[in-house]
Chain A
């Protein structure tokens, strides 16, 4: 058995580099020739690379996530105890490798040293890059803007700096931030747990599936597939959703609400309203107005969380999820009704109609989709009776409105009557709102709606 270097093989015309997705063998394990050793991803396909030789997997030269040029050394396989050749500084072995992007350059921990005269070493092993032990990890841990002191602390405590919020210049993590983080509960939770902070967008697209090419067709678990790049908006939605569930412990609670009074009031003024304003007063308008009233009584659903501090807000700005059509493929945008605490039912109706119309024609101004303090989503419009919304960060709660359905219900004197019923579910961030708080809000919301009297100005 002799020492072999594993080169990234050519994978076809026009493929000059590949990103190392995953090592399929651990260092120290035995590898047979032609056994899959690693997984790589290229512009065109993702594929497994078989081992070119049998032996012990001695060293991984490239680490996961690295982009490597074809024909550069990525690993060493050989007999147990074989000396792996080292390089001189001048041979710049790293030229075959580069980080995924410029801004990911971390500490200069890459070290390359001189070849030795070990008998087993192939003469041409001139350009072998090697990372010092833990160097790759160190870089991964410390990609965020920080200081040398903070990086030492992070490495010492094994903290992934992506989890730490920086308050220094340009978001730099300072010693103070680090001290605060280390003192916080959960500081030592496993990285990549739900503790990833919202401040750093994760890359949900890193969660890759592995496809294979069979008879010239790409397949996933044997099923032929067609690849399509996500639109910008779809990608942003994906990132936002993944980040939100990682960031906040979501809890959803649901109440059933009798909208009898709401229907009666609305029916009474429906026509006059449409005549005067040229559009219909919808249940959504009333449901939002009622939500504002409930928030005023339980403002905890209208806060943000910053580290171990709660940010109470002076305004109630209600974000309303608007689907952009195209049978669900058009994406989603959440325009915001600002200062809703100062708006009457009519004002809210006018504002929402205007925002939704412009959202669908893509004419919203940038500041009309930010600053929300609470959000409402209404999948009831498509017949859904119950939903589990995902919180729109950095908010802490979202109300999901179900379809209004006529149901037989038992009222006070054990009479069964037909009533327009609606499920309202509140998803809340359990860091700041407990089950009681969520339920109290919905109980208030229910009470307001079941005793509804407010009519729009006509």
Chain B
């Protein structure tokens, strides 16, 4: 049995779990990693961030090909093979899975395939697919079991007409029409994907705007751009029923509307933590709507030696957030005293066309909290590089407090927004202000100049408008 004794057992191998496992191992701990699915990497690598972004990149290329004539390329009318597009996505995922296997080996992390459950303090059981159980003894446990798609109780996925994001990643062909229930991050990304490949998409959102947690202007700009991608957005719209009528399609009813038929319906109403069958009851850890409460300085649960990170705790359900938490948590377990995860700098990223990236507060939130603020905003349209890259949609909008110009929120909408937001995250971590952004020389010509211009605009001295 002694070989199954560890300093740390990590349950779940997603971007939180595997990062925590590697960091702990780097710090000299003997680490085991448990994964119940066939592949390491969790939602992010297998049915989340990576495959969706691979497909969205193909949509971007397809879009470019559609405009190739304008740039002087005479390629006739381009065609795509959905099969090959999916194949490319699968290969990227597979490569990353292999990379992850290698990282585990390199860091001497013992991986166990099966369903991990806490079996008491310092005890974890792994139930393998053949029903056999392996018992592990450990000084510490890191729960990183992640999340799964939330489903509508009255319209569960049947993997045919009614789908979740897990199913739609393996869809055989681009449907002619699709209703997307929920205009959150997942919903709008798939809308932008299938819309660009020719599917007539209808996004049905209950809230007054798509991306309800983003700034109002962001939602407005994205709505405007999605309309050009075969996407109809219906906000303030309540769903009443969904019925799969087989070959006739799926019937969707919304309040105050006639029933409509779509070839496919994607239900993307959010995600929920996976905590119901991981043995929390054996040690007395309670959850609130599935969420585990932890101390955000150490990620300790109410039970000594048991930690939780990533989607199972009440912080943003984002891969990079989970990774940061797990890295930090591993250092705590190894006895280091790391500085707290800096949630204020935590960026969100949406990979539609154009992309959306943000940190901090929205204008609405600032108004609700009665915080006084100023706005520095600059569009991409006058910028040379945006024209060169044929991506003039979007803007950089900076919200800052007027006394010291401390940055309160940043909202970027642009084809490459996600690559630009980190400048602001760093600014937040270093407690910079708008002045440092404005006084930083940005290379010309780049898209990032727009950031500097938005800062200048906030201080009253934008140049290129």
Once the chains are docked, how many angstroms separate the CA of A149 from the CA of B430? 9
Once the chains are docked, how many angstroms separate the CA of A156 from the CA of B406? 14
A152 contacts B404, C-beta separation under 8 Å: yes
Which of the candidate stretches A167-175, A250-258, A291-299 sits at the interface with the other chain?
A: A167-175
Interface residues in B403-441 (C-beta closer than 8 Å to A): 403-406, 430-433, 435-436
Once the chains are docked, how many angstroms separate the CA of A272 from the CA of B405? 76
Nearest B residue (CB) for A167: B339
Nearest B residue (CB) for A149: B431
Interface residues in B317-370 (C-beta closer than 8 Å to A): 339
Once the chains are docked, how many angstroms separate the CA of A31 from the CA of B251? 95
The verdict on A147 contacting B431 (CB below 8 Å), with A168-B339, A169-B339 known, is yes
Nearest B residue (CB) for A175: B431
Highest count of chain A CB atoms <10 Å: which of B430, B431, B435, B436: B431
The answer to whether the Cβ of A336 comes within 8 Å of any Cβ in the partner chain is: no
Once the chains are docked, how many angstroms separate the CA of A175 from the CA of B404? 11
B431 contacts A148, C-beta separation under 8 Å: yes
The answer to whether the Cβ of A40 comes within 8 Å of any Cβ in the partner chain is: no
Contacts of B406 in A (CB 8 A): 149, 175
Once the chains are docked, how many angstroms separate the CA of A149 from the CA of B407? 10
Contacts of A156 in B (CB 8 A): 403-404
Contacts of A174 in B (CB 8 A): 431
Interface bits A138-159 vs B (CB < 8 Å: 1, else 0): 0000000001111011001000
Contacts of B433 in A (CB 8 A): 148-149, 152
A153 contacts B339, C-beta separation under 8 Å: no
Once the chains are docked, how many angstroms separate the CA of A174 from the CA of B430? 9
Interface residue range, chain A: 10 to 19
A147 contacts B404, C-beta separation under 8 Å: no
Interface residues in A251-291 (C-beta closer than 8 Å to B): none
Partner of A147, one of B403, B405, B432, B435: B432
B436 contacts A148, C-beta separation under 8 Å: yes
Contacts of B339 in A (CB 8 A): 168-169
Q: How many A-B contacts if CB must be within 8 Å?
A: 26
Once the chains are docked, how many angstroms separate the CA of A121 from the CA of B430? 44
Q: What's the least CB distance linking A153 to chain B, in Å?
A: 6
Once the chains are docked, how many angstroms separate the CA of A168 from the CA of B428? 13
Contacts of A169 in B (CB 8 A): 339
Once the chains are docked, how many angstroms separate the CA of A455 from the CA of B433? 67
Q: What's the least CB distance linking B308 to chain A, in Å?
A: 25
Q: What's the least CB distance linking B435 to chain A, in Å?
A: 7
Main secondary structure, interface of A, reads helix
Interface bits A293-324 vs B (CB < 8 Å: 1, else 0): 00000000000000000000000000000000
Partner of A153, one of B404, B430, B436: B404
Q: What's the least CB distance linking B210 to chain A, in Å?
A: 33
Once the chains are docked, how many angstroms separate the CA of A393 from the CA of B414? 56
Contacts of B405 in A (CB 8 A): 152
Contacts of B430 in A (CB 8 A): 147-148
Contacts of B432 in A (CB 8 A): 147-149
Interface residues in B179-207 (C-beta closer than 8 Å to A): none
Q: What's the least CB distance linking A176 to chain B, in Å?
A: 9
Nearest A residue (CB) for B405: A152
Once the chains are docked, how many angstroms separate the CA of A412 from the CA of B406? 72
Highest count of chain B CB atoms <10 Å: which of A147, A168, A175: A147
Q: What's the least CB distance linking A108 to chain B, in Å?
A: 10
Nearest B residue (CB) for A146: B431
Q: What's the least CB distance linking A157 to chain B, in Å?
A: 11
Once the chains are docked, how many angstroms separate the CA of A328 from the CA of B425? 57
Q: What's the least CB distance linking A150 to chain B, in Å?
A: 6
Contacts of A153 in B (CB 8 A): 404
Partner of B435, one of A148, A150, A168, A175: A148
Highest count of chain A CB atoms <10 Å: which of B403, B404, B406, B436: B404
Once the chains are docked, how many angstroms separate the CA of A148 from the CA of B427? 10
Interface residues in B59-90 (C-beta closer than 8 Å to A): none
Once the chains are docked, how many angstroms separate the CA of A138 from the CA of B404? 16
Once the chains are docked, how many angstroms separate the CA of A134 from the CA of B202? 61
Nearest B residue (CB) for A168: B339
Once the chains are docked, how many angstroms separate the CA of A197 from the CA of B70? 67
Nearest A residue (CB) for B435: A148
Q: What's the least CB distance linking B205 to chain A, in Å?
A: 37
Interface bits A162-200 vs B (CB < 8 Å: 1, else 0): 000000110000110000000000000000000000000
Once the chains are docked, how many angstroms separate the CA of A150 from the CA of B432? 9
Contacts of A168 in B (CB 8 A): 339
Nearest B residue (CB) for A169: B339
Q: What's the least CB distance linking B341 to chain A, in Å?
A: 13
Once the chains are docked, how many angstroms separate the CA of A174 from the CA of B342? 12
Contacts of B435 in A (CB 8 A): 148
Once the chains are docked, how many angstroms separate the CA of A147 from the CA of B403? 16
Once the chains are docked, how many angstroms separate the CA of A149 from the CA of B404? 7
Interface bits A119-151 vs B (CB < 8 Å: 1, else 0): 000000000000000000000000000011110
Once the chains are docked, how many angstroms separate the CA of A175 from the CA of B433? 12
Interface bits B388-406 vs A (CB < 8 Å: 1, else 0): 0000000000000001111
Once the chains are docked, how many angstroms separate the CA of A147 from the CA of B435? 12
Once the chains are docked, how many angstroms separate the CA of A169 from the CA of B406? 20
Nearest A residue (CB) for B406: A149
Contacts of B404 in A (CB 8 A): 149, 152-153, 156
Q: What's the least CB distance linking B218 to chain A, in Å?
A: 25
Highest count of chain B CB atoms <10 Å: which of A152, A153, A168, A169: A152
Once the chains are docked, how many angstroms separate the CA of A59 from the CA of B231? 68
Q: What's the least CB distance linking B453 to chain A, in Å?
A: 20
Nearest A residue (CB) for B436: A148
Once the chains are docked, how many angstroms separate the CA of A169 from the CA of B431? 12
Once the chains are docked, how many angstroms separate the CA of A169 from the CA of B429? 10
Highest count of chain B CB atoms <10 Å: which of A148, A168, A175: A148
Contacts of A147 in B (CB 8 A): 430-432
Once the chains are docked, how many angstroms separate the CA of A153 from the CA of B431? 12
Contacts of A150 in B (CB 8 A): 431
Q: What's the least CB distance linking A145 to chain B, in Å?
A: 11
Contacts of B403 in A (CB 8 A): 156
Interface pairs (26), CB distance under 8 Å: A147-B430, A147-B431, A147-B432, A148-B430, A148-B431, A148-B432, A148-B433, A148-B435, A148-B436, A149-B404, A149-B406, A149-B431, A149-B432, A149-B433, A150-B431, A152-B404, A152-B405, A152-B433, A153-B404, A156-B403, A156-B404, A168-B339, A169-B339, A174-B431, A175-B406, A175-B431
| Closest 10 pairs (CB-CB, A-B) | A147-B431, A149-B431, A152-B404, A148-B432, A148-B433, A148-B436, A149-B406, A149-B433, A175-B431, A149-B404
A147-B431, A148-B430, A148-B431 provided; 5 other pairs, C-beta below 8 A? A147-B430, A149-B433, A150-B431, A152-B404, A156-B404
